[in-house]
Amino acid sequence: MRSIILAACLALVAAPSLADGDAKAGAAVFRKCSACHTATEPANRVGPSLMGVVGRPAASFDGYSYSDAMKAFGAEGKVWDEATLSEYLLSPRGMVSGTR
């Protein structure tokens, strides 16, 4: 469940270039994510902050306790960019086996 919520959150944060998107619909989707994540402040909740996630190395936000699987993924040098996020959001556990 957490992976699904994270995936939805990352989808919203990862697509700021879609200027013609529906901000109202995006805000409604993010409400589900905001119980665990924030995208407007550098503070962790149950999940890590998504503020500035695009361009950030995976498993690198200070103060968050990532799963061993996500730490290993980050240790491979993975960076959250449009392509990586798109692949991850389609299947979080398929891309990072053992992630929460």
CATH code, 57: 1.10.760.10
pLDDT at 97 (0 to 100)? 95
Q: Which domain holds residue 17?
A: 2-93
Percent of the chain with pLDDT over 90: 37
> What average pLDDT does range 70-94 have in this prediction?
92
Residue 100 included in any domain: no
Tokens of 30: 């993010």
pLDDT band at 1 (very low <50, low <70, confident <90, very high): very low
Contact between 66 and 59 under an 8 Å Cβ cutoff? The reply is yes
pLDDT digits (tens, 9 = 90+) for 12-60: 555 554 556 788 988 887 888 788 888 888 888 888 998 999 999 999 9
Residue 98 included in any domain: no
> Which 8-state DSSP code applies to residue 21?
S
**Separation of alpha carbons 73 and 33, rounded Å:** 22
Percent of the chain with pLDDT over 70: 80
Residue 56 included in any domain: yes
Between 87 and 18, residue with greater pLDDT: 87
Indicate the number of domains in the chain.
Answer: 1
> What average pLDDT does range 70-89 have in this prediction?
93
Phi, psi of 58 (to 5 degrees): -60, 145
Residue 99 included in any domain: no
